[in-house]
A = this chain, B = another copy of it.
């Protein structure tokens, strides 16, 4: 292999730039040419591709977002689109790809590989931490710390006014951000898709708190839960517990941005290096991950389809710490 390409796709995540940097410099140090493909699969189809040098990735390790830009591509979902993309790659002699993204990205990569045989190694870039095959994904630690910082700020207000706050964090199919920011933020309760917590449980916990003279409470809600979003849960609770002073805050897009934490920069750098080394060593249709501090490769299929369970010890922690 003499030439590889790297791109980011799907929702951006802090650490993607650190990963790009690592892919580029690892590739160069191994004597490869490294091409940057902009706007994900769209740029691959359109030939928005340029040769990267070591200085192309100077001074980006600390930046949120992605210098290669990201996009979702409808055209790549068609066979014609993928054929065009493949042509753009072969034209430049690109023989392998590093795809930084989430399950959508890897679904596309899987099909692309099956159709055209080009080796692809994925690096898990998503704040949701919902991919099997890596303990953590690029951007998750930063997103949790951003959420935590917001919760700390909101608690200042909650305490000052004796209020109950429902705080909605990201995580469409996964409660990882909610659980971790809930423990770190001293939440009384965490509502996540992974548990069978009911509206009654929420109401009972808050009622108990009130009866114990707890003056303020934080409930962290993952966006994708069965009980609805934070506004919906709050409006139920207001009906049952009208004496509580209840507020809702949805943290939203701030969770996707910002300078990556140390953890995310190192994870991203490790994954970038291991993705390139994997390509060189013959890996071809896999996602690279870190499990128990060791580099591992998991097939795209497994990475996308298999559920990653939440550590039950953390669920127990929430309960104990909120007494």
Bound: A55/B153 CA distance, A: 20
Please determine whether B26 and A257 come into contact, CB atoms closer than 8 angstroms: no
Give the Cβ gap from A153 to chain B, nearest Cβ, in Å: 3
| Residue A225 CB within 8 A of the other chain | no
Segment of A74-82, A280-288, A297-305, A313-321 engaged in the interface with chain B: A313-321
Please determine whether A62 and B247 come into contact, CB atoms closer than 8 angstroms: no
Known: A181-B262, A186-B59. A257 touches B25 (CB 8 A): no
Give the Cβ gap from A249 to chain B, nearest Cβ, in Å: 5
Please determine whether A153 and B249 come into contact, CB atoms closer than 8 angstroms: no
Q: Mark A277-295, 1 if CB is under 8 A from B, else 0.
A: 0000000000000001101
Q: Mark A12-31, 1 if CB is under 8 A from B, else 0.
A: 10101010011001101100
Bound: A264/B18 CA distance, A: 23
Bound: A135/B135 CA distance, A: 14
Bound: A257/B148 CA distance, A: 13
Please determine whether A62 and B180 come into contact, CB atoms closer than 8 angstroms: no
| Residue A311 CB within 8 A of the other chain | yes
Residues of B within 8 A of A321 (CB): 21-22, 25, 61, 269
Segment of A84-92, A115-123, A158-166, A195-203 engaged in the interface with chain B: A158-166
Residues of B within 8 A of A186 (CB): 59, 61-62
Please determine whether B253 and A154 come into contact, CB atoms closer than 8 angstroms: yes
Q: Mark A144-188, 1 if CB is under 8 A from B, else 0.
A: 111010101111110111100100000000000000110111100
| Stoichiometry, copies per complex | 4
Residue in contact with A25 in the complex, picked from B70, B160, B320, CB distance below 8 Å: B320
Known: A61-B185, A152-B62, A266-B184. A12 touches B144 (CB 8 A): no
Bound: A61/B152 CA distance, A: 10
| Residue A193 CB within 8 A of the other chain | no
| Residue A234 CB within 8 A of the other chain | no
Residue in contact with A154 in the complex, picked from B28, B254, B311, CB distance below 8 Å: B254
Q: Do most interface residues of chain A lie in helix, strand or loop, or is the interface mixed?
A: helix
Residue in contact with A320 in the complex, picked from B29, B63, B180, B320, CB distance below 8 Å: B29
- Chain B residue nearest to A186 in the complex (CB): B61
Known: A21-B321, A141-B263, A180-B262. A153 touches B161 (CB 8 A): no
Please determine whether A160 and B70 come into contact, CB atoms closer than 8 angstroms: yes
| Residue A54 CB within 8 A of the other chain | yes
Known: A181-B262, A262-B184. A273 touches B317 (CB 8 A): yes
| Residue A104 CB within 8 A of the other chain | no
Residues of B within 8 A of A162 (CB): 69, 71
| Residue A252 CB within 8 A of the other chain | yes
What would be 10 A-B contacts, judged by CB atoms less than 8 Å apart? A16-B160, A18-B184, A59-B159, A61-B184, A61-B321, A70-B161, A148-B262, A152-B258, A153-B258, A154-B254
Instruction: Rank and list the top 5 A-B pairs by shortest CB-CB distance, nearest first.
Output: A153-B257, A64-B156, A156-B257, A65-B156, A184-B265
